[in-house]
Amino acid sequence: MPVVRVALVATVVAIACVPRLSRAQSAEAQTLFSDGEKLLAAGEIEKACAAFEASNRIEPGAGTLIRLGDCRAQNHQLASAWSAYKGAADRAKDPRKAARAKAQSDALEPTLSTFEIVVAQPVDGLAITRNGIAYDSSLWGRAVPVDGGDYLISATAPNHEAWHGHAHVAVDHDHVRLEVPALAESAAAITHDPQPGGDRSHVAPPPPLRYVHAHAGIAIALVGAGVAATAVGLGFGVAATNSRDDAYALCPDVHNCSNPTRANALIGTAHDRAITADVLFGVGAVAAIAGAIVFVTSKQEVPVDVALVPGGATFAWRGGF
């Protein structure tokens, strides 16, 4: 029995709360409706329309929709006004409100501007937006009543370049048709390497064989470097010989040596200078030979295969001297 009593009390409380919630909701809607009337009388049309629309969201009603239609019409938004009148005519229970809403919608309908978006070539995943709002595919190819103004149309699809178009629609008696062209395939889709045996019609061709020219200036620089290295090496060679001769002058033989310490130091210096001279002679010879080769090939076209790879490029030089 206590359980039944608790359930009964809860039901009574719930029922008692419904009228209060309804009255509170009506009060909020009525406040916004009254604000809309005041704003409309003051000439603040956009704010008035916003107030009527908010009131209708809280508590939809034929009377509110009629006033919203009146407001939209004064704001030169004829399609929005027509839609509000149509909604009022469908919702109205009062015959007078229904008749007024229908008369207003019927009067506006012949004046409406329409906007038609046509898709030339639909592709998988194609999405279209109108002023940033998704445009349902069921409306593609249909002339839809719209308010006058500027419209930005965007079309996107996977593996395709995005497309953007613009159209201006007059306030009344205008009929605009905008065609979304076939979207171009993106570079990533074109260069994608398909699976073996698949369609290769969109595979990017391999890069053509390119030719580069060796420069005679480089050849001259190499030859010059070789000559300079040889000249410096020759200098070290002469210095090595002089150091050796000075050592022999101090110590003609092991039994006749006036300064053996100094003679040994000179022999060591001569040895080091001789090694340096040999290295420089070798470097000079290599540079001179390389310069000669570059000079000979500078008048020829040397084929080079170029291949693009992630993060850079590789090349291979084909041919010989």
Can you tell me the distance from the alpha carbon of 202 to that of 308, in angstroms, rounded to the nearest whole number? 18
Stronger pLDDT, 216 or 142, i.e. the higher one = 142
The pLDDT assigned to 66 comes to 95
Can you tell me the distance from the alpha carbon of 47 to that of 70, in angstroms, rounded to the nearest whole number? 13
The pLDDT assigned to 260 comes to 65
88: Cβ–Cβ under 8 A, 6 or more apart, which residues?
Answer: 62, 63, 65, 66, 69, 97, 98, 101
**Domain 113-187 part of CATH 2.60.40.1120:** yes
> What tokens appear for 30 in the block?
């009525």
The pLDDT assigned to 165 comes to 95
141: Cβ–Cβ under 8 A, 6 or more apart, which residues?
Answer: 116, 117, 118, 119
The pLDDT assigned to 159 comes to 94
Can you tell me the distance from the alpha carbon of 318 to that of 52, in angstroms, rounded to the nearest whole number? 79
Strand duo 301-309 + 210-213: pairing: antiparallel
Q: pLDDT digits over 179-217, tens only? A: 999 999 988 766 554 555 544 444 445 445 444 444 566
The residue to which tokens 């369609």 are assigned: 199
The pLDDT assigned to 254 comes to 55
Stronger pLDDT, 103 or 187, i.e. the higher one = 103
* pLDDT at position 1 over 90: no
* pLDDT at position 77 over 80: yes
The pLDDT assigned to 248 comes to 67
Q: pLDDT digits over 117-141, tens only? A: 999 999 999 999 999 999 999 999 9
Can you tell me the distance from the alpha carbon of 51 to that of 72, in angstroms, rounded to the nearest whole number? 12
The pLDDT assigned to 138 comes to 95
* pLDDT at position 288 over 60: yes
* pLDDT band at 46; cut points 50, 70, 90: very high
Can you tell me the distance from the alpha carbon of 210 to that of 177, in angstroms, rounded to the nearest whole number? 49
Mean pLDDT of the chain: 77
Q: pLDDT digits over 242-252, tens only? A: 877 776 676 66
- Give the side-chain half-sphere CA count within 13 A for 55: 25
CA distances from 156 to 142, 219, 305 (A): 20, 55, 37
* pLDDT at position 6 over 70: no
The pLDDT assigned to 249 comes to 72
Query: What sign has the CA pseudo-torsion 133, 136, 137, 138?
Result: negative
* pLDDT at position 299 over 90: no
Q: pLDDT digits over 21-42, tens only? A: 334 458 999 999 999 999 999 9
Q: Shortest CA distance to 115 belongs to which of 163, 174, 72? A: 174
The pLDDT assigned to 169 comes to 96
Q: What percent of the chain has pLDDT over 90?
A: 49
Q: What is the CATH number of domain 2-110?
A: 1.25.40.10
Q: What percent of the chain has pLDDT over 70?
A: 68
Q: Shortest CA distance to 102 belongs to which of 90, 91, 89, 112? A: 89
